[in-house]
Chain A
Amino acid sequence: MNEKKAPLKIYKLVLAFAACAASSAALADMLRSGESGSTTRTTSIAAKPAAELLDPEQAFRPQIKLQNRTTLEVRFEVVPGYYLYRDRIRVDAELKASPTGKEAGRRPDAGAKPIKNRYALQLPPGRSVDDPTFGKVDIFDKSTTFVVDLTTTSGPPLAATGSSTGNSRNASKAGLSVSVTKLVVTSQGCAAAGVCFPAQQHEFPMPAFVSNGKGSANNSGGWLSPLASSSQGFGQARQPSTSFALPK
Chain B
Amino acid sequence: MPNQRKAYVFVAIAAAVVLSLFGAAFLIGKLEEQPAVTKTVNAGSSATAAVIYSTSFPDLMGVAQPLGQWSQKLLIVNFWATWCAPCIEEIPMLVRMQEKHAAAGLQIVGIAADSSANSSNWAKKLAINYPVLPDESRAIEFSKRVGNRFGLLPFSIILSPAGDIVTTKLGVMTEEEITTWVERYRRKS
Contact = CB atoms under 8 A, between A and B. Distances in A.
Contact of B29 (A13, A32, A44, A45): A32
A162 interface: no
A215 B37 CA distance: 55
Interface string B105-144: 0000000010101100000000000000000110010000
A106 interface: no
A194 B19 CA distance: 46
B169 A44 contact: yes
Interface in A160-206: 188, 190-191, 193-199
Interface residues of A, number: 51
Interface stretch (A50-58, A61-69, A70-78, A147-155): A50-58
Interface stretch (A19-27, A91-99, A219-227): A19-27
A132 B171 contact: no
A138 to B, nearest CB: 14
A20 B14 contact: yes
Interface stretch (A34-42, A109-117, A120-128): A34-42
A28 interface: yes
Contacts of B13: 13
Given A55-B150, A197-B151, A40 B38 contact: yes
B118 A248 contact: yes
B26 A195 contact: no
Contact of A45 (B88, B118, B151, B170): B170
Given A13-B10, A43-B170, A20 B17 contact: yes
B152 interface: yes
Nearest to B22: A24
B81 interface: yes
Interface centre among A13, A17, A191, A195 (most CB of B within 10 A): A195
Contacts of B171: 44-46, 193-195
Given A44-B171, A195-B152, A28 B22 contact: yes
A103 interface: no
A236 interface: no
B154 interface: yes
Interface in B54-72: none
A53 B150 contact: yes
Given A43-B169, A195-B154, A190 B84 contact: yes
A238 interface: yes
A16 interface: yes
A195 B83 contact: no
16 contacts: A13-B10, A17-B17, A24-B22, A32-B26, A32-B29, A40-B38, A40-B40, A132-B85, A134-B85, A188-B83, A191-B152, A195-B86, A195-B152, A195-B171, A196-B152, A196-B153
